[in-house]
Chains A and B, each alone.
Chain A
Amino acid sequence: MKLGTLGGTGRAGMMGRIGLFLLGAMILFALLGPLLIPHDPMERTGAPLAAPGDGHLLGTNDIGQDILAELAAGARVSLTIGLAGAAASMTIGVLVGVLAGYRGGWTDTLLMRAVDVSLTLPFLPLMILLGVFLGPSMSTQILVIAILMWAKVARELRSQILSIRTRGPVQSARAMGAGDGYILRKHILPMTLPLLIPQFIQAVTASILMESSLSFLGLGDPLAKSWGSILFYANARSAFLTDAWIWWVVPPGLCIVWTVLGCSFIGYWLEEKASPRLKSYAAPAERGARGWFRSRPSRTAASAAKAGETLRIDGLTVEYPKPDAQESVAALRGIELVVKPGEIVGIVGESGSGKTTLAAAIMQMLKHPAESAGSIRFAGEELTELSDRELRAIRGHRMALVPQAAMNALNPVWTVRKQLTEAITCHRKLSRAEMEKRIGTLLEQVGIESRCLQAYPHELSGGMKQRVVIAMALVNEPAFVIADEPTTGLDVLVQAEIVALLQRLQQQLGISMIFISHDLPVVKRIADRIVILERGAVVDEGDPEQLSRHSTHPYTRKLMDAIPSIGRLEQPLERPRPAQPTPSPEPLHAAAGR
């Protein structure tokens, strides 16, 4: 339960605080330093190259100017140029990005080619060239920074806007008749703002560094002190020949590091906040797929599986600890489930009922940070006690999963043949001829023509892809298959085909099956027994007919009653038909089919 707390939010939050402290201290130094330090950085106020000590906390440079005063003045210049450069490049970048992304068409093409050109310009030579050409001054520096940095901002913003433009809120506003101004103001800008803020901080970081480089190259304003120009003079006037570099070179260097580090930390923290999805990847914890599985030996011993049971689940509980709080969310609570050989058990539940978690728990593929307890026995073997190696020998071999959203389970750059070959060679070596034969059998079983072997997934229809995924599950003749939402997202015609296919396979191969779906009518059609899941617990169980006719459980009833009936119009529709144009349709009993 403590696993989740280490990573993610906490670490980023801490970095944010450190960053704010670093940057805040530097800003304070820039604001107050020149007021509090009694020396004028432009005047000779001490002996040349005086070591740090009385009167001059950080010593003096070769003409006797106070270094601390120089640093404070430099902080003002560096921060100003950093902010101004970042603001200028962001302004150009946002304008170009919004125009290109929102207008599209020719505007987009032209602007993006300009961006491409700008991104390929060699950065350092251009910087020097512009600096020399325009003459050293603060506005030159800001201009150079803006010219070098706008393109990256523009490109990232454009791709964001391209995707935002097609999203629901924008589409619905457009359907309400909203104009471009409204959509930009109310939808596009607010949605891009969380991305712009971290980008701005990044730009500040980059422009402070660029300012230092420009000044160090002697392209800064000769009348203004900046950290870069302090370094420039130190280098030019041979600070490194004496010990003076310790107080002349190191402090401005540290100032740059300090500020850049502060900005980077803030940027990291803001980025984390803007895209919280990073969080779930932040705590990978090097444990294996099932290191947190606590099995209860007492329990497993008690429930020795009876012979003739394919699968027996006892007291299975899966919890997801919340990252911050002590309590955890229970995805499954005390599941008891038996699958007999050759049986199709349908598991029905609405979203959030724990259906997919159940499939993952059986396959021992729960995702971090799930914690589970209880017993899962497959053909007499306690899965929760097996090693990863032993599990791999079972998974995809004796027990197979047809994963949810099968359309995405196929590798888009592999042909069907390659997908199937891969699935077979995971578990055994076959000669070429044997492989061909096996693939031929599989294709026949799932009803795919052999010419489809050369096809890539995008060339296949949804139903065909689903058949390929089923074939992949069957490659090693498993005794038990879990099909997770195998008909979801398919058209009703294809659903009927897939259900018929699974039924036929079950009869031909004698496999046992768990059929998980939210779609009760489909499950009723295929399952020998239905288990109803509600919020992680089994609330009802029985054969389809018995459940639909006799179950008194309120949730089961609710699900059953939600199936819209056709051809049973003697059940009155609660809705009075409008007087206009339709006459009330005649009742008719099951005209076609069953």
Chain B
Amino acid sequence: MSHSTNRAESPPTEPLLAVKGLRKQYEASAFSSAGKEVLRGVDFQVQPTETVGIVGLSGAGKSTIGRLVAGLERPDGGEILYSGQSIGRLRGARRRQAASGIEMIFQDPYESLSPRMRIADLVAEPLRIRKKYRGNRAGLEQAVRTALANVSLPPERYMARYPHELSGGERQRVGLARAFVDPPRLVIADEPTSMLDSSLRLELLALMDRLRRDSGTATMLITHDLALAYRFCDRLLVLSDGEIVESGTPAQVIEQPAHPFTLRLVQALREFHP
């Protein structure tokens, strides 16, 4: 399936995330009798501190992988092993415990932040949900300040503001601060830059890259933008019609695409990036 045998794919350590035969099918609707199979047996691994890019066209099932790993949906088949533990079907408190350290960054910075909460509360939300710093307001505030400062938003200027007072780029930084405030082990970034102006995209990804390196976090970068993934990932997975058709280092995928689909993708990319 892939031609990634020419390099050390799995170091001796256990993978942080191992996805095996993952399937997802959306329910049959009134219009189509058969349910649509979005994922048709997906296998991949994410090593600790590795950045894996998942690229593909819209409808390929990229976001579904992210949502399944983040626990927003439940798989119809296959397994999701996180630190060796199967988390795909857990719910409630057990899931919260087993999946601790998985964070998600959403696509739409305008929509994912509650307009009724101040920036400080938004950043503190993951800590509050996990009942950390309970009864320790000073500690909570300090954590929020550090998280905001880490994404270059001066805490004293931003903590009391509301999302609508921020630009798209600033909001996505708040999204990053939220993901990194409670030191994560795996960050799932679903198209984190697609709603941003192009001049901000590289900047935001560079920031995310710095944060994940500083905290030694593994990342799944889900994107349609092969050029961005090429630039920021250690390994790329090319997804087409619910299957991984190619995987390898960015250089391998771009320069020697093995699968015809990848070849088409790369050729289209070169149209615009001569």
Q: Which residues of A contact B (CB under 8 A)?
A: 167-169, 171-179, 182, 187, 190-191, 350-351, 462, 491-493, 495-496, 499, 518-522, 524-525, 558-559, 562-567, 569, 573-575, 577-578, 580-583, 585-586, 588, 590-594
Q: Tell me if B269 and A492 are in contact (CB < 8 A).
A: yes
- B226 contacts A by Cβ under 8 Å: yes
**Nearest chain-B residue to A193 (Cβ)?**
B116
B8 to A, closest residue via Cβ:
A581
Name 18 A/B residue pairs within 8 A (Cβ), A-sorted.
A169-B111, A175-B71, A182-B129, A190-B114, A191-B114, A495-B272, A496-B272, A519-B198, A521-B273, A525-B272, A559-B199, A564-B202, A566-B273, A567-B255, A567-B270, A575-B209, A580-B234, A582-B234
Question: Which 5 residue pairs are nearest across A and B when measured between Cβ atoms?
Answer: A585-B251, A168-B112, A169-B114, A521-B272, A350-B197
Residues of A within 8 A of B57 (CB): 491-493
Q: Across the interface, do A496 and B234 meet the contact criterion of CB distance under 8 Å?
A: no
Given A491-B57, A492-B265, A566-B230, A580–B273 Cβ distance below 8 Å? no
A594 CA to B272 CA, complexed, in Å: 10
Residues of B within 8 A of A564 (CB): 201-202, 225, 227-228, 230-231, 273
The reply to whether A562 and B50 contact each other, CB–CB distance below 8 Å, is no
Contact of B198 among A495, A562, A581, A594 (CB under 8 A): A562
Beta-carbon contact of A574 and B206 below 8 Å: yes
Complex contact B270–A493 (CB within 8 A)? no
> A563-B227, A567-B273 provided; 5 other pairs, C-beta below 8 A?
A169-B111, A172-B113, A493-B268, A565-B227, A567-B254
**For the complex, what is the distance from the CA of A174 to the CA of B104, rounded to whole Å?**
10
- What residues of chain A lie closer than 8 Å to B89, measured between beta carbons? none
In the complex, the answer to whether A563 meets B232 with C-beta atoms within 8 Å is no
Q: For the complex, give the distance between the alpha carbons of A577 and B213 in Å.
A: 10
Residues on B with beta carbons closer than 8 Å to the beta carbon of A462: 58
Contacts of A592 in B (CB 8 A): 266-267, 270
- Mark interface residues in B53-72 (1 if CB within 8 Å of A CB, else 0): 00001100000000000111
Query: Given the complex, which residues of A lie within 8 Å of B95, measured CB to CB?
Result: 177
Contacts of B210-268 to chain A: CB distance below 8 A: 213, 224-228, 230-232, 234-235, 249-252, 254-255, 264-268
- Chain A residues with Cβ below 8 Å from B116 are 190-191
Residues of B within 8 A of A566 (CB): 226-227, 230-231, 254, 269-270, 273
Instruction: Please report the C-alpha to C-alpha distance between residue A187 and residue B112 in the assembled complex, in whole angstroms.
Output: 12
The answer to whether the Cβ of B126 comes within 8 Å of any Cβ in the partner chain is yes
Chain A residues with CB under 8 A of B125 = 173, 176
Q: In the assembly, what is the distance between CA of A190 and CA of B118, in Å? A: 14
Residue of B nearest to A584 (CB): B251
What residue in chain B is nearest A591 (Cβ atoms)? B255
- Interchain CB contact (< 8 A) of A496 among B197, B198, B271: B271
For A583, the chain B residues whose CB sits under 8 A away are 7, 249
Contact partners of B130 in chain A: CB under 8 A: 176-177
By a CB distance below 8 angstroms, the chain B residues around A187 are: 114
Contact A562 B199 (CB under 8 A): yes
Residues of A within 8 A of B117 (CB): 169
Q: Are B198 and A350 in contact (CB under 8 A)?
A: yes
Q: Does B135 contact A (CB under 8 A)?
A: no
Cβ contacts under 8 Å, B71 to chain A: 174-175, 177
Which A residues are in CB contact (< 8 Å) with B96?
Answer: 177, 179
Asked if B49 CB lies within 8 Å of chain A CBs, one says yes
Please pick, from B47, B100, B114, the residue contacting A177 in the complex, using a CB distance under 8 A: B100
Q: Compute how far the CA of A14 lies from the CA of B166 in the bound complex, rounded to whole angstroms.
A: 31
Beyond A182-B129, A493-B264, A496-B268, whether A575 also contacts B232 by CB under 8 A is yes
B7 & A582 in contact (Cβ 8 Å cutoff): yes
- With a cutoff of 8 Å between Cβ atoms, the chain A residues found around residue B235 in the complex are 581-582
- Minimum CB–CB distance for B193 against chain A, Å: 10
Chain A residue nearest to B104 (CB atoms) is A175
Residues in chain B near residue A178, CB distance under 8 A: 129
Asked if B234 and A578 sit within 8 Å, CB to CB, the answer is: yes
Contact with A along B65-87 (1 / 0, CB 8 A): 00000111000000000000000
Alpha-carbon gap, A569 to B267, bound state (A): 17
CB pair A581 B9 closer than 8 Å:
yes
Instruction: With both chains docked as a complex, state the minimum distance between the C-beta of B104 and any C-beta of chain A, in angstroms.
Output: 4
- The A interface, classified by DSSP as helix, strand, loop or mixed, is loop
Distance from B225 Cβ to chain A, minimum over Cβ atoms (Å): 8
Among the listed B103, B197, B268, which residue makes an inter-chain contact with A518, where contact means beta carbons less than 8 Å apart? B197
| Bound-complex Cα distance A458 to B25 (A) | 21
Residues of B within 8 A of A559 (CB): 198-199
Please measure, in the bound complex, the distance between the C-alpha atom of A167 and the C-alpha atom of B111, giving whole angstroms: 7
Q: In the complex, are the beta carbons of B114 and A563 less than 8 A apart?
A: no
> Is B99 close to A, CB under 8 A?
yes
- Contact across chains for A176 and B251 when beta carbons are under 8 A apart: no
A491 touches B47 (CB 8 A): no
Minimum CB–CB distance from B206 to chain A (whole Å) comes to: 7
In the complex, which of the residues A462, A558, A581 has the most CB atoms of chain B within 10 Å of its own CB atom?
A581
Cα A575 to Cα B235 with chains together (Å): 15
Give the contacting residue for A563; candidates B11, B200, B273; CB below 8 A.
B273
User: Quick one: closest B residue to A519, CB to CB?
Assistant: B198
- Complex Cα gap A519–B225 (Å): 12
* Contact residues in A for B267 (Cβ distance below 8 Å): 592-593
Question: Could you say which residues of chain A place their CB within 8 Å of the CB of B224?
Answer: 491-492
Whether A169 contacts B113 by the Cβ 8 Å rule is yes
B71 to chain A, nearest CB (A): 7
Q: How far is the CB of B172 from chain A (nearest CB, A)?
A: 12
Cβ contacts under 8 Å, B104 to chain A: 172, 175-176
- A558→B199 contact, CB < 8 A: yes
- Chain A: which residue is nearest B105 at the CB level? A172
- B108 on the interface (CB 8 Å rule)? yes
A169 vs B50: C-alpha distance in the bound complex, in angstroms?
28
Q: How far is the CB of B217 from chain A (nearest CB, A)?
A: 11
Chain A neighbourhood of B265, CB < 8 A: 492-493
For A169, A350, A520, which residue has the most chain B Cβ atoms within 10 angstroms?
A169
In contact, A562 and B47 (Cβ under 8 angstroms)? no
Q: In the complex, what's the smallest C-beta–C-beta distance from A383 to chain B, in angstroms?
A: 30
Q: Which of A172, A491, A519, A563 contacts B112 (CB 8 A)?
A: A172
Which B residues are in CB contact (< 8 Å) with A591? 254-255
- Nearest CB of B to A102, in Å: 15
Q: Note all chain A residues with C-beta closer than 8 A to B168.
A: 351
Name A585's contact: one of B201, B249, B266 (CB within 8 Å). Answer: B249
B271 A168 Cβ-Cβ under 8 A:
no
List chain B residues, Cβ under 8 A from A177. 71, 95-96, 99-100, 129-130
A593 nearest CB neighbor, chain B only: B270
B180 within 8 A of A: no
A520–B198 alpha-carbon span in the complex (Å): 8
**Nearest-Cβ distance from residue B23 to partner chain A, whole angstroms:** 21
Q: In whole angstroms, what is the CA distance A104 to B103 when docked?
A: 26
Contact assessment for B197 and A168 in the assembled complex, using a CB-CB cutoff below 8 Å = no
Assuming the contacts A566-B254, A585-B251, asked whether A492 and B274 have C-beta atoms less than 8 A apart, the reply is no
**CB of A410, distance to nearest CB on chain B (Å):** 18
Given contacts A177-B95, A585-B250, A594-B270, contact A578 B230 (CB under 8 A): no
Cβ B106 vs Cβ A171 within 8 A: yes
A169 and B271 within 8 A (CB): no
Give A187 to B50 CA distance when docked, in angstroms: 34
A562, B202: Cβ atoms under 8 Å?
yes
Mark each residue of chain B from 37 to 56: 1 if its CB lies under 8 Å from any CB of chain A, else 0. 00000000001011000000
A4 to B108, CA, bound (A): 31
Kindly provide the distance from the CB of A176 to the nearest chain B CB, expressed in whole angstroms: 4
Q: For chain B residues 161-185, which have a beta carbon within 8 Å of chain A?
A: 168, 178
Chain B's closest residue to A499 (CB) is B271
Residue of B nearest to A172 (CB): B112
